[in-house]
Structure 1
Amino acid sequence: MSDLAIRALPGTSPETPHVTLDGALEALPPEASGAEVWSALGGAGHLAACYRDGDPRRGVRPGALARLLAATDARFGIPATLSVSVPLATTLPVLATGTTPLARRALREALAGRVTTALAATDATAGTDLSALHTAVHLDGDTVEVTGEKQWIANATTAAWFLVLARLRPGRHFTSFTWVLVPADAPGVHVRPADSSLYAASGTGHVRFEGVRLTAGHLVDRVGMGLPSFARHIATERLAGALWGVALCRRVLADTRSRLAARAHGEATLWDNEAVRQRFAACLVRTQELHALCEQFAEPVARRYDTTAAATLKAAAGATVGRVLGDCAQWWGAAGFADGSVQQTRAQAALFGIGGGATEVVLATLADSAEQVLARLEPRGDTP
C-alpha cells in the first residue's frame, strides 16, 4: 500500500493480529458485502487492533485505522468500506460507554466480527439536525419504548443491533436525548433497503420503530448523554473519513495515471499532454494537503476529540475527494461510465461531502472557531 495513503501517524504502535490484514481480506471475493468484510476483519483481530489496547473507550490508533480503511477500499470499494468505517469510528466507541451486561455483550460480539451494528442517528424528520429529531424513547420504570424512523442507515439490513439516538423530552437542549440499544429482531422493528444500488453492499436502509418495548437494560450510558456522546465520537468519524479520503484519492489517481500513460493521443499519450499533467499535479497537491492535515490533526482528534480539528478534516476531505474524482472521471472519458468504473465511484464518493455532517455544516463550525484557528497559525519560536 502507498506511503501517501497509510504512512504511520503519530501515536501508533505495532499490533500482531493472528492473520495479516491482507490475508484476512484476500480470503473474500471482491464483491463481498460490508457485513462479510466486517466478519473477516473481526475474526482476525483487526477491528480491535484499531483501538488503543484493543479498547474502543481508549480511542482509535490512527495509523491502524488508516491501514484498515485503505486496504478495505482497495479491494472492495466504497460501499463495503462505509459499512466498516462508521461502526469502527462511532458506533462501537459510543457503545463502549455503556456499562450494562447487554451493552458489553453487544460490544464483544461486534469487535469479534460475530455481528454487525448500525448507528441509527439520522432521523427521517430532521436529517443531520439531530437536535430536531422526532424518534422518541418513553421511560416507565423498567420499561423502555422506542417510536420513530431513521433513514439512510449503513448496515441497516444486516445489523443485529441498532444503536438508536432518541428523544427523551421536548426541546433542543443537549440533555434531551439518549442512546438505546435495540435488537434488530425485536417486535416493532421494520427494516427496508434504501432505494439505491450505489450502496447495496453496505446494507444501507431505513428503519422504523413502532412502539418497540424493551427493558431499561437496553439504555446505553447515563440517560440524557446522547448528544454529548455523539458530538465526542463524530469527531473520530470525521478523522476516519479524511484518512479514507486520502486512500481513495490515491487509489483513483494511481489507476488514472496508468490509464493516461497507456492511452494514445496523437504521436504520444494523454499523459504527455501538458494541460492534463498540470491538472493531475494539482490533484496530487490537494491529496497531499489532505494527508498533511491528517498527520497534523490525527492525535488531537483521536486523543482529545478536538471538534475544530475534526471539522477541518471533514471539510477538507469533502472538497478534495470531490475535486480529485471529478477530474479523474473526466480523463476516463466514455469508459468511465462502464459498470463499476470511475463515474460510479465518483457518485458513491459524494457521501464525503454529506455523511457525518454536510460540508456547509462543518464550515459553520470552523467559522465559530475562527479566532482559535487564526491563533494557531501565528508564528512560533524566536526570530533569527
Structure 2
Amino acid sequence: MLQSEPAPAARHRPRAATALAGVPEDAPATAVWAALGTAGVLRDLYDRAGPTGVAPAPGRLADLLGAVDARGDNGVTLSVLVQAASALPVLAACAPETGPVRQALDQVRSGASTAALGATDGSAAGSDLAGLGTEVTIGQDELLLTGTKRWITTACTADWLLVLARHRPGRHFTSFTWVLVPATAPGVHIRPADTDLLTGAAIGHIELTDVRLPLGHVVGRPGRGMATFAQHMGTERLAGALWAVALTSRVLADTKEGLTCRTADGQSLWHHDAVRQRYAACLVQVRQLRALCESLGERVAHRQDLAAAALLKSAAGLVADPVLAACAQLQGADGFARGGAQHIRSEAAVFGIGGGVTELVLGAVADHADTVLTELRS
C-alpha cells in the first residue's frame, strides 16, 4: 500500500526552526544564537568555498532569518543577521589555524560566544567609513587601540568585538585593519544606546581607551580591513533583503487575519475593494522582492557581485517601508498596540539606513545602469 505524500510543511522544516522550537519566546539574542550554534546551523551556513574563501548557501540563509523572524523580535533578528552575515564571514575568511582569531571563530560559530561588528565610527557619518577616527598602532610586540564606535548591534552582550580601525593616516582603502577585541579587555567601555527600538539587538556605543592587545588580535593582514569588509558586504545586503521578505510577509499575514475579523457595513474589511487592492499591491511588491532575492542570491553569495547586492539592498529599502506603512494603516487603531504594526514599521526603518542609506546605494545601482539594462534586454 502506497503511503500518502507528506504535507509541504512536513517535507521541509528548516533546521533553524527545529533548533529554535524549544527556545522560549522571550529569550534574548544570546540564547537564540546559542541554540543555532549547538544545532550546527551556524557551522553549516557557509558550506562551500568562494572567491573570498567562504560563501553562504542563500537558501540556508533565508531559512535561518525566516525562523528567527517568526519569533517576532526584530532586535533579536537584527543581532543574528549581523553576526551571521557580517561577523562570521569576516572571521572565517581571516582566521589562521591557531590563535585568538581562530578561537573567536570557533566559539562564535558554535554558539558559545557572540560577536559585534564595530564598523560605524564616532568620528564620521555612518556611510563614511573612510573617515573613521578609531586608530590602531601596530607595534613590535602589541597593538594599541583608541577610538569610539557608535550604534553597534550586539555591543552590550558580545564577548568579542570586531573593530575596524585605521593604522595609518588618509582615506586610502589600504589604511584600515580589523582588530579582534575581547569585550572585557581593559580600556573597553560599552554603554547602551538611548533608544526604545530594536531593544533585543543590545545596541550600544563602544569607547576604546588605550586598549592594548597582543599582535595576534589583528584579523587578516594589516591594510586589508576595508577590502575584506567590501568583499563580504554583499552577504549582509542579501541577508537584509531576505529578512525584509520574511518580516513583511509576517506582518501582511497578521494584517489579513485582522481584516477578516473586523467588520464594516455588515461585512469584513477584507471584502472591501479598496482594502483588497491596497493589500494586493503590497503582496506584489513583496513577491517581486523575493523573486529578486531568488534570481540574484547566488551571484551575491558565491561570486560577491556587489552590483547585484546593491540592487537587493535598495529594493529592500524601497519595499519594506511602504508595505509596512500600508499594513499599519489597514490595521487602524490596532496598529498602535504595543509591538503592533506602527512599532514594527519604526524598527524596520533599519532597512533604509543600516548597511548603507537607500539613496546612496541607489547611486551604486545607477553606476551599473548599463549592465542592468543589458541584462534586462537579454
| Cα shift at 1:130 | 0.4
Are residue 50 (structure 1) and residue 45 (structure 2) matched?
Answer: yes
Distance 2:215 2:179 in 1: 9
Distance 1:54 1:23 in 2: 26
Distance 2:107 2:336 in 1: 40
Q: Is the 8 A contact 2:95 2:220 kept in 1?
A: yes
Q: 1:149 and 1:15, CA in 2 relative to 1: closer, same or farther beyond 3 A?
A: farther
Distance 2:120 2:280 in 1: 37
The counterpart of 1:125, out of the listed 123, 126, 131, is: 123
State TM-score, norm by structure 2: 0.93
- 2:32 is matched with which residue? 37
Are residue 255 (structure 1) and residue 251 (structure 2) matched?
Answer: no
What amino acid does structure 1 have at the position aligned with 2:354? G
- 1:98 is matched with which residue? 95
- 1:216 is matched with which residue? 215
| Cα shift at 1:139 | 1.2
Q: Deviations 1:142-172 (Å, cap 9, x if unpaired)? A: 2101100001111101111100000111111
Distance 2:21 2:375 in 1: 43
| Cα shift at 1:41 | 0.7
- 1:168 is matched with which residue? 167
- 1:23 is matched with which residue? 18
- 1:89 is matched with which residue? 85
Q: Is the 8 A contact 1:143 1:215 kept in 2?
A: yes
- 2:332 is matched with which residue? 333
- 2:4 is matched with which residue? none
What amino acid does structure 2 have at the position aligned with 1:213? R
Q: 1:53 and 1:311, CA in 2 relative to 1: closer, same or farther beyond 3 A?
A: closer
- 2:5 is matched with which residue? none
Other structure's SS at 1:145 match: strand
Q: Is the 8 A contact 2:95 2:105 kept in 1?
A: no
State TM-score, norm by structure 1: 0.92
- 2:67 is matched with which residue? 71
Distance 2:335 2:315 in 1: 25
Other structure's SS at 1:229 match: helix
Distance 1:344 1:27 in 2: 27
Query: What are the within-5 Å matches in structure 2 for residues 1-384 of structure 1?
Result: 20-53=15-48, 57-96=53-92, 97-99=94-96, 101-126=99-124, 127-379=126-378
Other structure's SS at 1:123 match: coil
Q: 1:57 and 1:27, CA in 2 relative to 1: closer, same or farther beyond 3 A?
A: farther
| Cα shift at 1:253 | 0.5
Structure 2 unmatched ranges of 5 or more? 1-7
| Cα shift at 1:198 | 1.2
Q: Is the 8 A contact 1:35 1:202 kept in 2?
A: no
| Cα shift at 1:268 | 0.7
Distance 1:15 1:122 in 2: 38
Q: Is the 8 A contact 1:131 1:173 kept in 2?
A: yes
- 1:10 is matched with which residue? none
| Cα shift at 1:54 | 10
Q: Is the 8 A contact 1:239 1:301 kept in 2?
A: yes
Distance 1:346 1:300 in 2: 30
Aligned-residue CA RMSD (Å): 2.0
Aligned length: 366
Moved more, 64-73 or 369-378: 369-378
Structure 1 unmatched ranges of 5 or more? 1-5, 8-13, 380-384
| Cα shift at 1:53 | 5.0
Distance 1:200 1:130 in 2: 25
Other structure's SS at 2:44 match: helix
Q: Deviations 1:152-201 (Å, cap 9, x if unpaired)? A: 11110111110000011111101000100000000000000111121221
Q: Is the 8 A contact 1:35 1:155 kept in 2?
A: no
Distance 2:283 2:72 in 1: 23
Distance 1:267 1:335 in 2: 20
Distance 2:322 2:164 in 1: 33
Q: Deviations 1:312-358 (Å, cap 9, x if unpaired)? A: 00000011111110000001111111111111111111100010111
Q: Deviations 1:119-140 (Å, cap 9, x if unpaired)? A: 0000012122100100010111
